[in-house]
Chain A
Amino acid sequence: MTMDDKLQAFLAKDRVPSSDPAFMARLDESMARIRLWSQMRASAAFAIAIAAVAFGLYRAVGPQAFTWLNDFTLAMTGTPGLALAAIIVAAALYLPRLLQGRLKV
């Protein structure tokens, strides 16, 4: 074995196998965690903004203006078919966003 061969064998010691599921799983986990935190931060900011606007409206126009919300809630709970339809519509609107990163390549 020449000195060059020995050097090459020594350097080859650092070579990584072409497939390492454990390494990739760790990477996927890190990416998922970062994405979740980012979505939570965005959702929290959105929820705070909505709450602030709702609170502002409530203070500005008074509780009478929100009686429609009460009526809507009563209608929903009294009509299961309507509630089911609302859930289906909400899912249809939200699913493409949820699956966006999974379907495109």
Chain B
Amino acid sequence: MSLASDAQLVAAARRGSDLAFEQLARRHSPALRSFLRGVCRNHAWADDVAQNTLIRAWQRLDQLKDPSAFKSWLFGTGWRLVAEDRRAAGRRAKREQDWSDTQAQMSPEGISPDETMALEAAMQALTADQRAAISLCLAGGWSHGEAAQALDMPTGTIKSHIKRGRAKLLAVLGERK
């Protein structure tokens, strides 16, 4: 497996190497999909957006100013695509219904189905910005600065979204104790 840096792979992909772009996609798509699943709250929709994000990144690779910042640029592209996709409200509503129908059957170990459903409802009640910040920093382990760069928000706003969102999610668990 190649250990080429993102910047080297971006340079090779810009010269027309599909293999280089494939390596970039393999490297970053799991984290990208996890982030989008956290934001969209629907795995099928999130994976569709992830596909579109990678295709758009491939087509617009020349617009990336700093090749070493490929990861945050990719996540920022995904974040903007989610916002664009939100306009297709009817399609999303159908998917969300399908998704919520399967939620009770997918409880992680150590959490009851009731708690999972309550957390899912609380997560969906958060704003998209709060979900994005939580998905990147609490679930993905990103620093506040990295998340701020990818989501194009001030670092203070990211911190505030995480604090408020986390409090709402924990409150749900506290109520059920």
B54 proximal to A (CB < 8 A): yes
* A63 contacts partner chain B, Cβ-Cβ < 8 Å: no
Judged by a CB distance under 8 angstroms, whether A10 is at the interface is: yes
A15 in contact with B17 given A10-B119, A34-B59 (CB within 8 Å): no
| Contact of A90 with B by CB under 8 A | no
A-B interface contact total, Cβ < 8 Å: 108
Q: Quote the shortest CB–CB distance from A37 to chain B (angstroms).
A: 12
Residues of B within 8 A of A18 (CB): 30
Give every chain A residue within 8 A of B115 (Cβ-Cβ). Answer: 6, 10
In the complex, which residues of chain A have a beta carbon less than 8 angstroms from the beta carbon of B111? 1, 6, 9-10
> Are the CB atoms of B2 and A105 closer together than 8 Å?
yes
Closest CB-CB distance, A29 to chain B, in whole Å? 10
Known: A23-B33, A34-B55. A11 touches B16 (CB 8 A): no
Pairwise interchain contact A7-B169, C-beta atoms closer than 8 A: yes
Interface of A is mostly: helix
Query: A-facing mask of B134-177, CB < 8 A → 1, else 0?
Result: 11001100000000000000000000000000100110011001
- B90 interface residue (CB < 8 Å to A): no
Which of A42-50, A77-85, A96-104 contacts the other chain? A96-104
Contact in complex: B37, A3 (CB < 8 Å): no
Q: Which residues of A contact B33 (CB under 8 A)?
A: 16, 20, 23
Name B18's contact: one of A4, A9, A31 (CB within 8 Å).
A31
Query: Which chain A residues border B104 with CB–CB below 8 Å?
Result: none
Q: Considering the complex, which residues of chain B in the window 105-121 have a beta carbon less than 8 Å from any beta carbon of chain A?
A: 106, 108-111, 115-116, 119
- Please name the residue on chain A nearest to B37 by beta carbon: A14
The 9 closest A-B pairs by CB, nearest first: A14-B37, A11-B139, A16-B33, A9-B108, A101-B18, A104-B17, A16-B30, A3-B173, A1-B110
What would be 27 A-B contacts, judged by CB atoms less than 8 Å apart?
A6-B110, A6-B115, A6-B173, A7-B166, A10-B108, A10-B111, A11-B138, A13-B108, A14-B135, A14-B139, A15-B30, A15-B34, A16-B30, A16-B31, A16-B37, A20-B29, A23-B47, A23-B50, A24-B25, A27-B22, A31-B55, A101-B17, A101-B19, A102-B18, A102-B19, A104-B15, A105-B23
